[in-house]
Chain A
Amino acid sequence: MIKHLARAMAKTRVLFKNRRLEEDLAKELATHLLYLEDEFLRQGLSPQEAHRQARIACGGVEQVKQAHREERSLRWLSQSLQDIRHAFRSLLRSPGFSIAAILTLALGIGANTAVFSVVNAVLLKPLSYPKPDRLVQFWLKSTEGSVPGASIPDLRFWLQHAEAVDDISAYDLGQGVLSLTSGMPEELRGVHVTANYFRLFGAPLVLGRTFSADEDRAGSDKVVVLSYGLWKRRFGGDRQIVGKAISIGKKPYTVVGVTGESFRSDPDADLWVPFQFNLNSDNQLHSFGVVGRLKPGFSLSQANVQLRLAAQAAQRQGLLPDPDYTFELEPLRDAIVKDARASLLLIQAAVSLVLLIACANVANLLLARATVRQREFAIRAAIGAGRGRLLRQFATESVLLSTCGGGIGLVIGSLGVHALLSISPGNIPRIGDGGAAVALDWHVLMFTFGISLLVGIIFGIVPALRVCVPSLNQSLNEGSQRLGSDSGQSKMRSLIVLSEVSLSVVLLIGAALLIRTFAALRSVNPGFDRHNVFLMEMSLHGSQFATTANVERLVEDTRQRLAGVAGVEVAAATYSPPFGDRMGLPFAAIGTASGNLGNNGDAEWMSVSPGYFAVLKIPVIRGRDFSDRDGKGGSGVVVINETMAKRYWAGKDPIGQSIQIGRGIGPEFEDRPRQIIGIVADVREHDLSEPPQPTMMIPLAQEPDGTTRLGLQFGPIFWLIRTRLEAHQVAGQVSEQLREVSGGLPAGQVRTMDGVVSDSIERQNFNMLLLGVFAVTALALTAVGIYGVMAYSVAQRTHEIGVRMALGANRRRIRNLVVGTGMVTAGLGVTVGLAAAAFLVRFLAGFLFGVRAWDPTAFIAVPVLLAMVALFALWIPARRAARLEPIEALRVE
């Protein structure tokens, strides 16, 4: 109804003009009283009596004012304000308690805020493109999982048959490197895309246009779209740049457009060039990603059903090579986030346990304080405060504490998130350059505010119930009943400590398992010598080095030059160094006497220059390494690894056998037959936790021109250099030589092989580090909790201890009594914690390597550690109890 609405608004306005209303009311009443006095004077009363009667007739000035106040203002609000004022005063009266509680909460909330900001940016925020939830990624899936990239035949199929998806576009999966050779040479992040890529992502433009359909076709002109950042930085924001040519890889490219400042592609790029695919190609290389937009009216599952049906039809017509394979669409955001989700959720879960423990500690503090204040509350109840009002007062205090903690926590969190990102692995998706996308937006603010409130209610309600329930009489009399502590009270405190201990056990076991995992990973021998090796990359795409012969000449020249650099022991080149991308190709054994070797198999494939095995010190187990004889003109040779020898030539000698690689998958892969000349030791070069894959290696000089072209298109060439000196002492010289010998191509940053290997386990390191920090924090909080409870209990039981001593208990017995009580609680907590951990470790299984989820070491070490910490925390109050003088103890009220 209108009148209620009008009134609510009026009442709200009162908040802002209360003082003026008070003044008005006083004036109004004064006039009113004057009239009444006149009236009484006229009736013949004395001035004093008239004054008095006027006030009586009115019903008392202050009473009227109060009635007016209550009528005009929002009552619950003014009461709340009163509660808050009261809570403030009461917290200020015990600053030690308040600071301890607020800081504990601030740390807990801060850590949660920091982690949540990352979770928010990575998992929750929608992609920053128009209608982001309609964007989907295409996958080729088999029973073994999804193939990381798509091939041209896949793309062709999708373009023709994915009827529910629009704007199907391809883009480089990795962040490619292109060399800008206009002016100062520079390696840039370049990504190949198809023409509708920009429309799909709604890319804004500041200048020109994006690629036309014609420019997307094979053999068209070389064109480029610049990013806003690059345009500003390298071209001074030249508004006439469209139509001009810039040099990329020493070839001219015409600039057709510049994207808007806000546009970020994923992978991020400085410039984009068209793929210019030949869509009729049968190239089986799976090297790029494909995305699209669901057409209006189609749901993801409908589109998926449609695509799978199309795939089945294609199977029947023999268009798909393998009956195992099918196609699938996945929301683009999930495709980008990938396995970062599990890591982040693990960390968020761990950090919320820490907050729970912090809550438990604050609840403990509040409980202790509530006991002390029981009389205060009893008195307030006696003079008329209802139970609800008392509970509200209590809740106000705890929520005030937690929001103060939340406020400081927000600051800690925003600082903490930078610390978090600085130690985080570089491969967390969606966080932008240096975590630029991780920001305190309103989601994070709401989260922090929300958990602050929640936390305040959780730890506030327990002690409040304890305090408000006991009867008045009992509380008022309590002063004279100090014998023994209130049993209900101490039970609750023990319960709080017990849950703290069990939460800590869960966290510690999680951390222990991750530490063991990391240690196991660190101790994995990758099979090559990673020390004193560094690598540099150089993009040859689009340069004059388009053929195998040219690349080979460059590599030979470079190797000779580098051999002359002081400190360089040996150098080699490859397109796929350890922990880089690699292709898988089929092979067929040919011309062999033994019968069953005719089957085809799949193996990883790479080409290496001479010296590769020497640089990485990969031992040749049988046969020989590549030599000068294995050049372009020599007969085809291949070296395989042990796993390949064992898998495909079990019990036989592969040396001298011949294989045909990449037959029937496209003209680019047409290769000569190759004789196996050597077997090298296995190397773990994708993931230290994965066993080595069968691998075949051919001399770089003997590569088909087709694969050289593909290799250069999709990645740079890597120079691997083994040094006698530190990498940084040699790198400058090496990079100088590289630029000279390549005729001015820039070489990218220097990475040591040590760094490459440890980067590969960065995520495990990060998980371990964070969980470790959280577990140690939890342990410290728990120790404080145990100490607090026992110290308090000793103080409460001083009188009882005095009696015991007077009756003949010796000091050791007293000490043991205290330690024993505490340890029983801790022991129960450990038991509960172990049971919980035994249940929860299953969620950790995916993170573990080299250690079982039920690792006995962790499940034994953690309880022992906790027992030691608990003992330590109990020792101080126990000693204090044991040192009490009986007479003094009895004197305590």
Chain B
Amino acid sequence: MSSKDKKTHQVLQGTLDLIVLRNLATIGPQHAYQIATRLQQISDGLLNLNQGTLYPALVRLEQYGWIKGSWSETENGREAKFYAITVAGQKALRSETEHWRRTSQLIERLLVEGTRA
């Protein structure tokens, strides 16, 4: 694969959940293929995400009640399960984002402190 020399990232469980939620919140309902493609696009191939990895995340989010899947037809007439973010999901997205920001800020600061010392 071409990504051999690129640095690839293993995605943390929580991160993937957050990305999926964010994605559904901005773009609207999507099916699994669309979400996967979108994730690859925005990460610019940095995420070495095999598309099947998405499925456990989707079922987990569905069981949390943060997203909801429903069957309908795609533009080219295929039946697909479209996932949409729920109200609880939006709330969760806000608090998770907030949490993530704080964490990353903290880590950022610690790293900077570390280089100064």
Give chain A's interface residues, CB within 8 Å of chain B. 2-3, 6-7, 10-11, 24-25, 27-29, 31-32, 34-36, 57-60, 63-64, 67-68, 70-72
Report yes or no: B79 in contact with A31, Cβ–Cβ below 8 A: yes
Classify the secondary structure of A's interface with B: helix
Q: Assuming A3-B65, A24-B81, A31-B78, is B60 touching A36 (CB within 8 A)? A: no
Known: A3-B66, A27-B79. 20 other contacts (CB 8 A): A3-B64, A3-B65, A3-B92, A6-B63, A10-B62, A24-B81, A28-B31, A28-B32, A28-B81, A31-B31, A31-B33, A31-B74, A31-B79, A34-B78, A36-B33, A58-B51, A59-B52, A64-B55, A71-B60, A72-B59
Which of chain B's residues 33-76 have a Cβ closer than 8 Å to chain A?
33, 36, 50-53, 55-56, 59-60, 62-66, 74
Asked if B25 is an interface residue, CB under 8 A from chain A, the answer is no
Cβ-closest chain A residue relative to B34: A35
Report yes or no: A11 in contact with B51, Cβ–Cβ below 8 A: no
Report the bound CA distance from A27 to B74 in whole Å: 14
Report the bound CA distance from A57 to B52 in whole Å: 8
- Give 24 pairs: A residue, B residue, CB < 8 Å, sorted on A: A3-B92, A6-B63, A6-B65, A7-B60, A10-B62, A10-B63, A27-B79, A27-B81, A28-B80, A31-B33, A31-B78, A31-B81, A32-B36, A32-B51, A32-B80, A35-B33, A36-B51, A59-B52, A60-B52, A67-B53, A67-B56, A68-B59, A70-B56, A71-B55
**B33 to chain A: which residues have CB within 8 Å?**
31-32, 35-36
Cβ-closest chain B residue relative to A70: B56
**A72 to chain B: which residues have CB within 8 Å?**
59, 63
The 7 closest A-B pairs by CB, nearest first: A59-B52, A64-B52, A71-B56, A10-B63, A59-B50, A35-B33, A3-B64
**A32 to chain B: which residues have CB within 8 Å?**
31-33, 36, 51, 80
B39 to chain A, nearest CB (A): 13
Cβ-closest chain B residue relative to A71: B56
Report yes or no: A11 in contact with B80, Cβ–Cβ below 8 A: no
Report the bound CA distance from A24 to B80 in whole Å: 10
**B64 to chain A: which residues have CB within 8 Å?**
3, 6-7
Q: Assuming A24-B81, A31-B80, is B62 touching A68 (CB within 8 A)? A: no
A12 to chain B, nearest CB (A): 10
B41 to chain A, nearest CB (A): 13
**A24 to chain B: which residues have CB within 8 Å?**
81
A20 to chain B, nearest CB (A): 12
Report the bound CA distance from A35 to B62 in whole Å: 23
Chain A CB within 10 Å, residue with most, of B36, B51, B53, B88? B51
Report the bound CA distance from A59 to B52 in whole Å: 6
Cβ-closest chain B residue relative to A7: B63
A23 to chain B, nearest CB (A): 12
Report the bound CA distance from A70 to B60 in whole Å: 10
Give chain B's interface residues, CB within 8 Å of chain A. 31-33, 36, 50-53, 55-56, 59-60, 62-66, 74, 78-81, 88, 92
Classify the secondary structure of B's interface with A: helix
Report the bound CA distance from A349 to B63 in whole Å: 51
B49 to chain A, nearest CB (A): 10
**A57 to chain B: which residues have CB within 8 Å?**
50-51
Report the bound CA distance from A3 to B65 in whole Å: 7
Cβ-closest chain A residue relative to B33: A35
**A71 to chain B: which residues have CB within 8 Å?**
55-56, 59-60
Report the bound CA distance from A562 to B23 in whole Å: 108
Report the bound CA distance from A3 to B31 in whole Å: 23
**B31 to chain A: which residues have CB within 8 Å?**
28, 31-32
Report the bound CA distance from A32 to B81 in whole Å: 10
**A60 to chain B: which residues have CB within 8 Å?**
52
Cβ-closest chain B residue relative to A3: B64
Cβ-closest chain A residue relative to B59: A72
B89 to chain A, nearest CB (A): 10
Report yes or no: A58 in contact with B63, Cβ–Cβ below 8 A: no
Q: Assuming A3-B65, A6-B63, is B52 touching A67 (CB within 8 A)? A: yes
Report the bound CA distance from A34 to B78 in whole Å: 9
**B80 to chain A: which residues have CB within 8 Å?**
28, 31-32
Report the bound CA distance from A36 to B51 in whole Å: 10
Report the bound CA distance from A70 to B74 in whole Å: 29
A811 to chain B, nearest CB (A): 69
**B59 to chain A: which residues have CB within 8 Å?**
68, 71-72
B116 to chain A, nearest CB (A): 38
Report yes or no: B65 in contact with A67, Cβ–Cβ below 8 A: no
Report the bound CA distance from A7 to B60 in whole Å: 8
Report the bound CA distance from A71 to B31 in whole Å: 19
Cβ-closest chain A residue relative to B35: A32
**B74 to chain A: which residues have CB within 8 Å?**
31
Chain A CB within 10 Å, residue with most, of B32, B33, B81, B88? B33
Partner among B50, B60, B92 whose Cβ is within 8 Å of the Cβ of A58: B50
Chain A CB within 10 Å, residue with most, of B31, B33, B55, B66? B55
Report the bound CA distance from A34 to B76 in whole Å: 11
**A31 to chain B: which residues have CB within 8 Å?**
31-33, 74, 78-81
Chain A CB within 10 Å, residue with most, of B36, B64, B88? B64
**B81 to chain A: which residues have CB within 8 Å?**
24, 27-28, 31
Report yes or no: B51 in contact with A59, Cβ–Cβ below 8 A: yes
Report the bound CA distance from A174 to B62 in whole Å: 70
Report the bound CA distance from A837 to B55 in whole Å: 66
A888 to chain B, nearest CB (A): 60
**A27 to chain B: which residues have CB within 8 Å?**
79, 81
Report the bound CA distance from A275 to B80 in whole Å: 86
**B62 to chain A: which residues have CB within 8 Å?**
10
Report the bound CA distance from A322 to B93 in whole Å: 86
Report yes or no: A58 in contact with B65, Cβ–Cβ below 8 A: no
**A28 to chain B: which residues have CB within 8 Å?**
31-32, 80-81
Report the bound CA distance from A7 to B79 in whole Å: 27
Cβ-closest chain B residue relative to A63: B52
Report the bound CA distance from A70 to B57 in whole Å: 11
Cβ-closest chain A residue relative to B56: A71
Report the bound CA distance from A71 to B56 in whole Å: 6
Report the bound CA distance from A25 to B62 in whole Å: 13
**A29 to chain B: which residues have CB within 8 Å?**
55
A112 to chain B, nearest CB (A): 43
Report the bound CA distance from A72 to B60 in whole Å: 7
Cβ-closest chain A residue relative to B65: A6
Report the bound CA distance from A280 to B109 in whole Å: 96
Report the bound CA distance from A64 to B65 in whole Å: 22
Report yes or no: B55 in contact with A68, Cβ–Cβ below 8 A: yes
A72 to chain B, nearest CB (A): 5
Chain B CB within 10 Å, residue with most, of A10, A28, A36? A28
A16 to chain B, nearest CB (A): 14
